[in-house]
Amino acid sequence: MAPIALLSVSDKRGLVPLAEALHHRFGYQLLSSGGTAKVLQDAGLPVTKVADHTGAPEILGGRVKTLHPRIHGGILARRGDAAHEADLVAQKIDPIDVVVVNLYPFRETVADPAVSWDKAIENIDIGGPTMVRSAAKNHEHVAVLTDPDQYDRVLAALEASGGVLSPSVRRQLALEAFAHTAAYDAAITRWMQARPELDLEPETSDAALPWLEALPLRQQLRYGENPHQKAGWFSAETSGWGGAVQLQGKELSTNNLLDLEAALATVREFGYGSGGLHPARRPAAVVVKHTNPCGVAIGDGTAIALTRALDADRVSAFGGIVALNGCVDAAAAKELTSLFLECVVAPSFAPEAREILSTKGNLRLLELAPEAIDVAGRDQVRSILGGVLVQDLDDELVTPDDWTVATDRAPTATERDDLCFAWQLVRHVRSNAIVVARDGQSLGVGAGQMNRVGSARIALEAAGDRAQGAVLASDGFFPFDDTVRLAAEHGITAVIHPGGSKRDDDSIRACNELGVAMLLTGRRHFLH
């Protein structure tokens, strides 16, 4: 018996070439309904209508077409399962091997702010998601396509494998299918939340319903960044922060989590934990305040790194968030009790450290295994009004071999090490970002100013006399020579930045005049 492909699509892009290939090249029978069947018939393709296949007409104005045992039995049946095979024979059901379905255009319909409630409701697809989920569940035997952009990829895979899709291809298609239906349901949820017809009470509106259906609600937070803002924490249970174990302390707040994220991202520059994909190369400690690192250091042991990070700016460290990339031992625990802190995250805490830190009952301790970080996705998602922005994490390894010396004087070996350390930090500081560092310790951090020389002035003033013989890193190029001249006045001997300004030569000439070495990385690291 020839394999069967069921096609029922709202988006008709690429439909005919796909159906032609399935039928003529790979021998599929075509099964379809409604407008999809008409398009295929008009193209001269032999197609069986769903109503003829099931023996049941479309009813309820088209609300019920594919919701029938001959459709879903054909999709869900496990090949080779004796009981399933017997049911298929008894019910005269033919197996369906490929399901090509995309859904009613709900999001496009409700994009019109004047759309009526009834029109929107009629554009909620029922049969389509049911077929997609059935096929995705039975992906061991069935391939499911939900997007015209998949068609060429699937046809190429069929061609390469002699007409049979591999298990890995079917699994990937199933994953994309479940993501498709999850996004569809989330869009319906969000639209209904905003409609006045539901007359929702404030406490049952946005905060009580999931923002993203794919992630479960981990915790209803007391409030957001400010007490008047509602907030919730959605997270997978075992990946990223969802895999963290809170050992003690009060509930985490929105600001705690934002600061923890910044601290963890920074300390991971030096590796994290003893296992996982990127184990710690050297003990490192990071202190964060208001999502910016205010103290970062490496050292011969966790406690030494921590002390040096705190010493970088103990005033700013008060009430801060600490991230460590190694086990917290007794010596580190004693240092953590030396001032008021909000949270500490580390791969592990030694029993004696736990006992010492228990005297600080409100201090939040989080144990986060490297493996939980490794399985977290690399997408960085931020909300904007009415939508989200998604980008890759800026977490590629620093590659000093790709840097170029721009000045007559090359950095010394010590300066080069310091420049590498400063460059690892500066991409974790809010732009415009400047970091002053020496001997594996941050000395001054300038963040978020509207001009680069302003950030440099803050960082250099924070460093004070310690800037003598130190280095300076900038996340973006120097648009003028004022920053390098200011740096030289404070005793900076080497600078690093991406380069790329039309006036790079001005800064290079100033460095040559002042005896300052300059490295160009060729890569910008803005953090907004």
Is residue 158 included in any domain, yes or no? yes
Start-to-end CA span in the chain (Å)? 59
Q: How confident is the model at residue 207 (pLDDT cuts 50, 70, 90)?
A: very low
Helix (H, G, I), strand (E, B) or coil at 334: helix
Catalytic entry in 84, 137, 230, 360:
137
Q: Are residues 416 and 364 in the same domain?
A: no
User: Which two structure tokens, joined as six digits, stand for 8?
Assistant: 């029922």
To the query of whether residue 137 is one of the catalytic residues in this protein, the response is: yes
Is residue 49 included in any domain, yes or no? yes
298-310 mean pLDDT: 97
Q: Among the three residues 149, 179, 194, which one is the final residue of a domain in this structure?
A: 194
Q: Among the three residues 194, 213, 248, which one is the final residue of a domain in this structure?
A: 194
Q: Are residues 320 and 280 in the same domain?
A: yes
CATH number for the domain spanning 358: value is 3.40.140.20
58-73 mean pLDDT: 79
Range of the domain at 234: 227-374
Is residue 125 included in any domain, yes or no? yes
Farthest CA pair distance, the chain: 91
Residue 278 has pLDDT above 90, yes or no: yes
Q: Are residues 109 and 242 in the same domain?
A: no
Q: Are residues 356 and 457 in the same domain?
A: no
- CA distance linking residue 181 with residue 281, whole number of Å: 43
- CA distance linking residue 193 with residue 190, whole number of Å: 5
To the query of whether residue 290 is one of the catalytic residues in this protein, the response is: yes
Q: How confident is the model at residue 288 (pLDDT cuts 50, 70, 90)?
A: very high
Is residue 393 included in any domain, yes or no? no
Let me know the angle formed at the C-alpha of 410 by 404 and 414, rounded to the nearest 5 degrees: 105
DSSP secondary structure, 39-98, as one string: HHHHTT--EEEHHHHHS---BGGGTBSS-SHHHHHHHHPPTT-HHHHHHHHHHT-----E
Look up residue 136 and give its DSSP letter.
H
Q: Give the predicted TM-score (pTM) of the model.
A: 0.69
Residue 144 has pLDDT above 60, yes or no: yes
Residue 124 has pLDDT above 50, yes or no: yes
Structurally, the chain folds into a number of domains equal to 3
Is residue 389 included in any domain, yes or no? no
What pLDDT does residue 198 have? Answer: 67
pLDDT tens digits, one per residue of 436-473:
999 999 999 999 999 999 999 999 999 999 999 999 99
- CA distance linking residue 25 with residue 30, whole number of Å: 13
What pLDDT does residue 107 have? Answer: 77
Is the distance from CB of 156 to CB of 93 less than 8 angstroms? no
Look up residue 251 and give its DSSP letter.
P
- CA distance linking residue 218 with residue 465, whole number of Å: 47
What pLDDT does residue 212 have? Answer: 53
Is residue 493 included in any domain, yes or no? yes
4-28 mean pLDDT: 90
Catalytic entry in 84, 230, 250, 290:
290
Q: Are residues 42 and 169 in the same domain?
A: yes
Is residue 94 included in any domain, yes or no? yes
Residue 413 has pLDDT above 70, yes or no: yes
Alpha helices in 161-301 (DSSP H): 167-194, 254-267
Q: Are residues 478 and 421 in the same domain?
A: yes
What residue type is 276 in one-letter code? G
> What pairs with residue 8 in β-bridges?
101
- CA distance linking residue 29 with residue 14, whole number of Å: 18
User: Which two structure tokens, joined as six digits, stand for 224?
Assistant: 């957001």
